[in-house]
Amino acid sequence: MMLKQFVIPAIDVIDGKCVRLSQGNYAQKTVYNERPLEVARQFEDAGITRLHLVDLDGAKAGKVVNWKVLETLATHTKLAIDFGGGIKTAADVSTVLNSGAALATIGSLAVKQPEIFASLVAQFGAQHFFIGADVMHEKLAVSGWLEQTDLLVYDFINQCKLLGITQFFCTDIEKDGMMQGPSTALYARILERCPGVQLTASGGATTLADLQALHQIGCIHAIVGKALYEGTILLSQL
């Protein structure tokens, strides 16, 4: 297995800078680089082909904010970028796709306003969406993880599948940014109960062994953030 094709590095953006949060807490912010393009180029130079770009300002504001960062990365690298954070309207999806994203990442909207989400999928095509399921104890959390729902992750994914969506990523909130390993058992259950999905693991992967375990259970990718920035997974090892 080529781990370079398996790993999707994450770049989280606040004020145009590359940052990481712990468990989604904006107060626990670490700035890793003032220039996201430098970071993206390091990934590309190492043989990485995908990038997970998160507009944290947009997620907070409820509208796309850092699309210029996306445009810069899409113009100056060949990375296939998925972009999320604040995508709520057809105009937002248009902005993101026109700025160079391969996929528009949607999370809360699909949970809270399924009719609007369904209309966006019908308008732009299911192949342009990457759906994020943020989970606490198998149930969805939305609005930057501030709001817990009673919707089981399996039911949510199977509902989205009815719209033709196949690409999902799932984050176990308790694991995110904590460097304690991923929720491999949860992902295995999702793959069992939601046949036919292309599942990307997100959050918690800290070592090469974590990545190999995720690959073995059938995840197609793993989004990795802090482990790359803190050096517990080295690009050269991939």
Q: Which residues are catalytic?
A: 12, 134
CB-CB neighbours of 3 under 10 Å: 18
The rounded distance, in Å, linking the Cα atoms of 52 and 27 is 22
- Residue 37, C-beta contacts closer than 8 angstroms, at least 6 positions apart: 72, 73, 76, 77
The rounded distance, in Å, linking the Cα atoms of 133 and 139 is 9
Dihedral sign, Cα of residue 214, residue 28, residue 12, residue 115: positive
HSE (side-chain half, CA atoms, 13 Å) at 184: 14
